Amino acid sequence: MSWLSYTKALNRALTDAMAEDDSVVVLGEDIGAGLAGPTLGLQKRFGAGRVVDTPLSEQGFTGMAVGAALAGLRPVVEFQIPALLFLVFEQLTNQAHKFSLMTGGQASVPLTCLVPGSGSRDGWAGQHSDHPYSLFAHMGVKTVVPATPTDAYGLLRSAIADPDPVVVFAPAAALAVRDDVTGELPAVPLGSARIHRAGTDVTVVAVGHLVHDALAVAEELAAEGISAEVLDPRTLHPFDWDALGASLERTGRLVVVDDSNRSCGIGGEILATAAEQYRLVAPPRRITRPDGTVLPFARELDRALQPGRDQLRDAVRAVVKQEASRLR
């Protein structure tokens, strides 16, 4: 038995992928020193030719990575701050993502973007605290948000092996999570959800680090006789709609908790699809950041704008009680 941290899981996934496949290379700022954690020790083991410490030019090294992928390599680009993805959004969504489609599959871009620390951190303020995963899911780019170290390992391995661009968001609030690991870690297929806790009264879909909040709330509500099922999508695109449908067949009620802005977020898409396609016995609810949120520097204000356990607890109670009142 050993305890595996989230950051170490990402590091192990990169190490194993590079050891198994010489075409896997890593690019990014400060990755030689491993300042963000996932690339620690990689340059010493694999050399500066495969672990390339880049200049401060996201458009420059992302363009280089797209070209390298087209030439047969499998680049992994580390973005230390999620907002840096805004600088290269066109390159990723309009070029890398569409290249195989526009060439009829004659070319592919096996490029992985890793964001180790997405979302809020204490004092990182407005330009460093976004969770822009909904933007990439909207554009059809394969988008991954692991909640646990074992899933971080397995999903990153699958992302690197995938023939298409994949963006992997590692939530800052999940980096301290540890898993008890007893054996080899398997790859986790993209597009496969995970049920962390079975339940019969309500399905709680939680994205990324919010899985752990959902599990804590579910444990509390069990004392009140409310049985909450916690579903972790793991991959936001492609989304495992079959897993959601199966869960809703058991519960008939839905609450989604998503740490991104409310309008056009993945939380709204999950609610809309559930309402269109599946059996619901009560109106669903979502908990998100407010519309157009820019997180401030002050810690108290930062926390006040993010989804919390109190909001989730109240939403689950309301959904369950609403149906109970309709039945009387």
The residues carrying an active-site annotation are 128
Which residues, 6 or more positions from 318, have their beta carbon under 8 angstroms from its beta carbon? 285
Which residues, 6 or more positions from 179, have their beta carbon under 8 angstroms from its beta carbon? 3, 4, 9, 148, 149, 150
153, 185 Cβ separation under 8 angstroms: yes
**Residue 165 C-alpha from the chain's centroid:** 15
Query: What angle separates helix 210-222 from helix 309-327, to the nearest 10 degrees?
Result: 50
316, 204 Cβ separation under 8 angstroms: yes
* Three-state DSSP string of 48-109: CCCEEECCCCHHHHHHHHHHHHHCCCEEEEECCCCCHHHHCHHHHHHHHHHHHHHCCCCCCC
Burial class (CB in 10 A: 0-12, 13-18, 19+), 190: buried
